[in-house]
Chains A and B, each alone.
Chain A
């Protein structure tokens, strides 16, 4: 039975009550307790720093060459917080409500409310650390809007918010390194969770420079390893982003929650060809000012500038007048796919729509001319001033677009298309962020908990830092208070030896296949299956086919993969092979979960379940639950999983059909 350990009491009092009554560990004991943190993105770095500050002895692991490289660094648009600095009607409740609704009523009320509560502390903390958020001339913090909301609650630092927040957390982490409470293991990859008497007690990690395996003990293990979007091969994730740490935890008994909930982001730079290695996001903040359109005429090959206003279809504004271009991501993505599939796409591949700033440039230009007292300005003068404003707001994004495409987005509209961006699914955790394995925690994007079936923009940074700075310091203590009698277990313990042997054997197996197909090409094939059959739209037949195809691919991988080099050396191909092997298993589970969930909700769109006008149609009667999959082991060529359900009880919000019209 899954116990989510949601505290009793009124929703708005649960977290305060919990904090008031959870168990504590005294400072002298904290020093003797070791905590392992996997991943150094916003969740991992903030957790490691905060736990180090409390006095725990922390080991932080990352596969990159420095904790500062974690992919949180690439988050662009911003971070939400219910500060209501704009006096536009925001509140903790409103942020909570928007997040639950945005997630299409598939997230836990108590977790999301806590997230909304601590959102305000995050901004305070980051400013205290010296994070240079955007400010107004009066010296106060600036805000902007994001999709799925009608208030301005997003804090930002140009289009580099993730970078600035991560560098803040990284600085806090490095400060703890200097103080001796945290030790960082960079270029290390976690390859196994070590369990002793049912509790997570350490890990096996591989030093990626020497290839040596290492044993590390911990009284608790925190998985903060991010999302699994790279299962699609092409995504906005970094090349190294992977599911391996979470997958090892899953195979050691941690349930995987809602694996099929993936977010396809509507505004990314389109694919150009088979050589493509990754996709680049253009921040959702651009939808504040950019208008999305396609030609009204099918297969229109004219340049954007040659298409007159009345021959353009601003389809989001047409379909969703209340939210317009700021509908949630899943809605915007499906609408783009619908137009392109119907033959209205633009660009050479016809798999793109326009994101146009011409109106915004003129609108801002007029305001600026007014401010500067310029009377009867010419169109050129207005445009000139407008360009300056747009440059300040989005300059780095426009530059990035120009570098990749060779086109100047100040002159021609951007071409954009949806791409895999974020995964709402992840390891199942309870209210304390503990998986169903004792002592094994999961934070940030790697867990399933806060975003339901669709994440709203600027909420990932909020969740990562909430989990790391403000939740885990309390909830971990509640567990560790009973662990103060457990001495550190020597890594000569047989459980460590067995785990290390398992990892070593797997590496040997991989190297001994000596087949003919490269890791990269197998990964591409997996991505293609996933994108076509478990992507923006899914149906029963496609998913069944995908499961069979992935099983075949898994056999091929284990019989025919070709990995150069050796084990005891710096060998990125071997690292990648291990990750792709895990992605293949995960891909199968994602399709099984998608097949099982015979409803549409958020980013999960089952073609069999839609409203007459093509919107996602939920089935609350049968599917108002979290799917938590238990790994049951290999049975011949098949992997078996058992489904556990965590029923979602909405005590405060009444779920309704989402409506952004």
Chain B
């Protein structure tokens, strides 16, 4: 693979805090290596801003290996940028070429208020999980794990749904800011497994109710969430959630 360096123009959303309106600021960065990650390019810019006595750009990030779900930038209109099934931290600069202009914004959704610059508050996701994204089992005295055989296909599907990293790109991509892909991934995981059966009805109803309470929009099945999801969480999980929801409400006592 040929490596190269590039000069870029960045238009980055700057916002002091939730109560202050934000705007785009333009920055030029030079000699960026194609081997750098996108966030390392931001590190270079921030180091320069600090040296110039300016305030660095605040952005969320932690593991930088695509699994913690903390990084969250809308890059040229796409959450997590141009690569398919990818997080911002795993995007590398070889995706760009010399002279490019790149626009970087935070996740935009009513339920994800901006904290500063590119950092948003996603605790609404935690509250959706609190509403039922678990199996009610206390620690200790669980039966032997192999006493509960689970069909491989169901286990694999549950795993595929459980791979959600809770980053919120699905919400950022959705024109309605719906959190249904996130919510459905957890509902699907637990409804596919026998352990999740006793709480199937209450789980789906409570989690959807919390989602609406948080101010996430309705799903109109455009599929932008699936197309954007860094972990390839399938929209079939939403179909499963709808089925679970319908069944739970129709058979409610």
**Interface positions of A (Cβ within 8 A of B):** 46, 49-50, 53, 64-71, 73-74, 83, 85, 121, 123-141, 157-158, 160, 163-164, 167, 170-172, 174-175, 177-178, 184, 186, 209, 238-240, 272-273, 275-278, 280-281, 399-400, 403-407, 469-470, 473, 518, 520-521, 562, 564-565, 569-570, 572-573
Contact = CB atoms under 8 A, between A and B. Distances in A.
A177 B129 CA distance: 10
Contacts of A186: 123, 126
Nearest to A159: B67
B144 to A, nearest CB: 6
A128 B149 CA distance: 12
A128 B140 CA distance: 10
B145 to A, nearest CB: 4
7 contacts: A74-B67, A130-B158, A171-B134, A171-B135, A175-B136, A178-B131, A564-B55
Given A124-B145, A273-B33, A129 B195 contact: yes
Interface residues of B, number: 78
Interface of B: 1, 17, 33, 35-37, 39-40, 43-44, 47, 49-51, 53-56, 58, 60-70, 83, 85-86, 90, 92, 94, 115-116, 119, 121-123, 125-126, 129-131, 133-140, 142-146, 148-152, 155-156, 158-159, 162-163, 165-166, 189-190, 193, 195-196
A139 B149 contact: yes
B162 A172 contact: no
B139 A520 contact: no
Contact of A175 (B61, B62, B130): B130
A163 B44 CA distance: 30
Contacts of B151: 139
B240 to A, nearest CB: 15
Q: Is the interface of B mostly helix, strand, loop or mixed?
A: loop
A341 to B, nearest CB: 24
10 A-B pairs with least C-beta separation: A139-B149, A171-B134, A128-B142, A132-B159, A124-B142, A127-B145, A178-B130, A238-B62, A406-B1, A132-B158
Contact of B144 (A124, A164, A569): A124
Contacts, number: 219
A157 B189 CA distance: 14
A137 to B, nearest CB: 5
Contacts of A136: 152
Given A139-B151, A174-B129, A174-B133, A400 B143 contact: no
A163 B119 contact: no
B68 A64 contact: yes
A132 B162 contact: yes
A66 B195 contact: no
A400 B44 contact: no
Given A69-B62, A184-B126, 10 more contacts: A53-B139, A129-B134, A130-B158, A130-B190, A133-B145, A133-B155, A135-B152, A175-B130, A186-B126, A281-B65
Nearest to A178: B130
B47 A520 contact: yes
A85 B149 CA distance: 13
Contacts of B69: 68-69, 73
Contacts of A570: 17, 58, 115-116, 119
Nearest to B195: A130
A83 B145 CA distance: 9
Given A64-B70, A130-B193, A164-B159, A278 B64 contact: yes
B68 A175 contact: no
A239 B64 contact: yes
A128 B63 contact: no
Given A73-B63, A570-B17, A128 B55 contact: no
A65 B40 contact: no
B40 A277 contact: yes
A406 B58 CA distance: 28
A65 B123 contact: yes
Given A209-B115, A407-B1, A564 B149 contact: no
B60 A65 contact: yes
Nearest to B149: A139
Contact of B94 (A127, A130, A240, A406): A406
